[in-house]
Amino acid sequence: MPWLRRPRRFLSNMSTRTHRFFVFCIMITIVVISFFLLRNTNSFISQQEQICDSKLNQIKGRELIHHDVSSEKPIFFIGGMPRSGTTLVRAIIDSHPQVRCGEETRVIPRILSMRTAWEKSAIEWNRLLAGGMTEQILDSAVRAFIYEILFLHGPSADILCDKDPFVLKYASYITSIFPSAKFLLVARDARAVIHSVITRKVTITGFSLTDYRQNFKLWNQGFESMYQECKEVGKYRCLIVYYEQLVLQPKQTIKNILKFLNITWVNDVLHHEELIGKKISLSKTEHSSAQVVKPINLEALTKWVGHIPVDVLREIDKLAPMLKKLGYDTKSNVPSYGIPDKLVLRNMDRLRDNAKFWDAQAKAYARNLSNTAIV
């Protein structure tokens, strides 16, 4: 019937209009939400760009600081095989009012060893590079680490110095990150070195407390490595200091050292023992501390004579060819190193006339920890 169809048509039209209105509302809602999301996204991107720009500026700032070395203090390094006189050299130079060396850091050769190991391992090096650790980043970090250690190691000084025996193994690399650095390589007759290692029971990684042959081979290998590094950086950056000449002719030898380092002469460097416990700090974990409390003397110069097996001495040129290369007399069992000057002879008289006093001084700085390996 017609009057029944009209309400149905009317309801159908109303349903269609409602549906269309509902769809329209949804579309409007989506547009509004999209607008706000886009606006917030743009704001977020803008914020991230600002953060990135800020970080980039910070990095650039750090790079500028890193490359601005004008404010850094001069640095030099003292190294050589253990028991060669490196502690004596640093104590003498530490007596200079412009210089501060201090005790062995132990951490500087370790960070240098670690840096070398990273590059030697192709797998590890590629992993570092893949992770964004560029050579420049690593070198900048190692450089900052070393300088921070030296700078904060002790009281302020015009010139900073590091004495870690094995640091000279990395002279070439150190020069690449500290172009103005200088090096002192302390050389000593290997026969005296090995005799000291064995009799004083100094545990050095790889060395034996009984096997002379093994020790001479390791001394030769270690010193040759440092010697080559010294030659690599050149004579204007690296000076070889002979222990024997230092104790026989201290004034001339120290003058040569200071001239090489561009440091003015002061008489304090001839009497370092007077500054022990004052300007010069010694560590009781270092084997040589008990010896350097005394004035420069000849006590340890030829202690090795008569104590090394004769059959080992016959093979010395084969076991330690660097000895001959350094100019040491390997044919004589009692070599002559030179004539002592008057200062040293007076020091020997002082030690003899006040033996109890100097023995007490030595005991006060005697090593009081169990022997641990020098790495």
pLDDT category of residue 314 using cuts at 50, 70 and 90:
very high
Kindly list the catalytic residues.
104
Token digits of residue 18: 């409602």
Token digits of residue 9: 């048509």
pLDDT at residue 75 tops 90 = yes
Q: Which residues of 321-343 are buried (b: 16+ CB within 10 A; e: fewer)?
A: ebbeebebebeeeeeebeebeee
Three-state DSSP state, 183:
strand
Token digits of residue 63: 């790079």
Backbone angles phi, psi at 164, to 5 degrees: -130, 115
Q: How many CB atoms lie within 10 A of CB 34?
A: 10
The secondary structure of residue 82, as a DSSP letter, is T
Beta strands 159-163 and 75-79, pairing class: parallel
pLDDT mean over 89-95: 97
243 in Cβ contact with 188 (< 8 Å) = yes
CA dihedral 52, 54, 55, 61 (to 10 degrees): 140
Name which of 20-24, 26-30, 172-176, 201-205 the model is least confident about: 20-24
Q: pLDDT tens, 244-269?
A: 999 999 999 999 999 999 999 999 99
Q: CA–CA separation, 293 vs 286, rounded Å?
A: 12
Q: CA–CA separation, 232 vs 323, rounded Å?
A: 19
Q: pLDDT tens, 37-57?
A: 445 444 444 554 454 344 344
For residue 333, the model assigns a pLDDT of 85
CA-to-CA separations, 266 to 159, 276, 344, in angstroms, rounded: 15, 17, 18
Q: Which CATH fold topology does 75-365 show? A: Rossmann fold (3.40.50)
pTM over 0.85: no
Residue 343 amino acid letter: L
Q: CA–CA separation, 88 vs 292, rounded Å?
A: 6
**Whole-number average pLDDT of the chain:** 86
pLDDT category of residue 287 using cuts at 50, 70 and 90:
confident
Q: How many CB atoms lie within 10 A of CB 66?
A: 14
Q: CA–CA separation, 304 vs 289, rounded Å?
A: 20
Q: Which helix (H) or strand (E) segment is 100 a member of?
A: strand 99-100
H-only helix segments in the chain: 2-67, 86-94, 107-120, 122-130, 135-152, 171-177, 190-199, 212-233, 243-248, 250-260, 289-292, 310-314, 316-319, 322-325, 342-353, 355-364
Span between the terminal Cα atoms of the chain, in Å: 110
Closest by CA position to 172, among listed 185, 159, 186: 185
The secondary structure of residue 295, as a DSSP letter, is P
